[in-house]
């Protein structure tokens, strides 16, 4: 884990200082990586500690239209002897950003996705959506909230995912942002399987605009 964290936060040293420029929250051209330092997954019984890696890539297709890929690979260390499982999430799809006429830069954005969820090696495919609001409240600081939903199907097994994310970003220079985010959500499973609650998953990362 330490090596992953050091690799993520060593990226700014290789990118360089860049020239002074205010953060642009409407820029949808970027690469990002994040690491989940801590969090809880509640299967009803048992519970587990969450860690893992997240990757994200976005490309602008026009002034307000973009295509985004998002992936989280969570590792859950369940209570009990040798109990570990994986929670993986992958989405990709087009989105649109709408700037709002306010005193500070604010963007409302939405996205439709192909979604794939995997719980303990069982995967299900379907569709989902993201809706978010991001505001720049200082020259180098921005924050946002994102709501996500996904409905997937794998024959007898269905996974439905709902989550919200709160995040903050600090611009080191025009090519590097440091990010921190907090995720809470639920994976609903059909049949007799218990729902999985993700509680306060804390993620630190970097975003590289281009």
For residue 34, give the CATH number of its domain: 2.40.128.100
**Minimum mean pLDDT range among 9-18, 96-105, 175-184:** 9-18
Distance CA 61, CA 138 (A): 27
Query: Please, what is the Cα angle at 78 between 76 and 70, to 5 degrees?
Result: 15
Nearby residues of 1 by Cβ (< 8 Å), 6 or more positions away: 35, 51
The mean per-residue pLDDT over the stretch 86-114 comes to: 94
The mean per-residue pLDDT over the stretch 38-59 comes to: 89
Pairing of strands 122-138, 141-154: antiparallel
- Domain membership of residue 41 as a residue range: 2-209
Confidence of residue 192 (pLDDT cuts 50, 70, 90): low
The mean per-residue pLDDT over the stretch 98-120 comes to: 92
The mean per-residue pLDDT over the stretch 102-108 comes to: 90
Q: What residues pair up with 196 in beta bridges, in sequence order?
A: 187
Question: pTM for the complete prediction?
Answer: 0.84
Q: Give the residue from 142, 179, 144, 130 showing the smallest Cα distance to 11.
A: 179
The mean per-residue pLDDT over the stretch 52-59 comes to: 97
Q: Give the residue from 48, 72, 71, 53 showing the smallest Cα distance to 3.
A: 53
What does the block give as tokens for 198?
């993700």
The mean per-residue pLDDT over the stretch 117-123 comes to: 88
Confidence of residue 195 (pLDDT cuts 50, 70, 90): confident
Number of domains in the chain: 1
Question: What single DSSP character describes residue 66?
Answer: E
Q: Give the residue from 169, 120, 125 showing the smallest Cα distance to 146.
A: 169
> What are residue 41's phi and psi, to 5 degrees?
-120, 125
Confidence of residue 57 (pLDDT cuts 50, 70, 90): very high
Q: Give the residue from 166, 157, 160 showing the smallest Cα distance to 187.
A: 160
């Amino acid at each position: 884990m330490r090596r992953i964290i050091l690799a993520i936060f060593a990226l700014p040293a290789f990118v360089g200082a860049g020239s002074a420029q205010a953060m642009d929250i409407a820029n949808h051209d970027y690469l990002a990586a994040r690491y989940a330092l801590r969090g809880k997954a509640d299967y009803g019984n048992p519970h587990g500690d969450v860690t893992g890696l997240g990757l994200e890539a976005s490309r602008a297709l026009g002034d307000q239209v973009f295509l985004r890929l998002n992936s989280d690979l969570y590792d859950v260390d369940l209570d009990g002897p040798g109990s570990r499982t994986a929670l993986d999430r992958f989405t990709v799809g087009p989105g649109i950003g709408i700037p709002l006429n306010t005193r500070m830069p604010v963007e409302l954005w939405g996205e439709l996705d192909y979604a794939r969820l995997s719980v303990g090696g069982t995967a299900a495919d379907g569709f989902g959506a993201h809706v978010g609001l991001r505001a720049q409240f200082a020259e180098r600081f921005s924050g946002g909230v994102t709501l996500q939903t996904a409905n997937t199907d794998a024959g007898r097994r269905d996974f439905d995912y709902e989550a919200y994310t709160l995040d903050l970003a600090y611009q080191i220079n025009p090519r590097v942002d440091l990010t921190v985010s907090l995720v809470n959500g639920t994976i609903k499973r059909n049949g007799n399987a218990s729902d999985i609650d993700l509680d306060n998953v804390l993620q630190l990362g970097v975003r590289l605009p281009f």
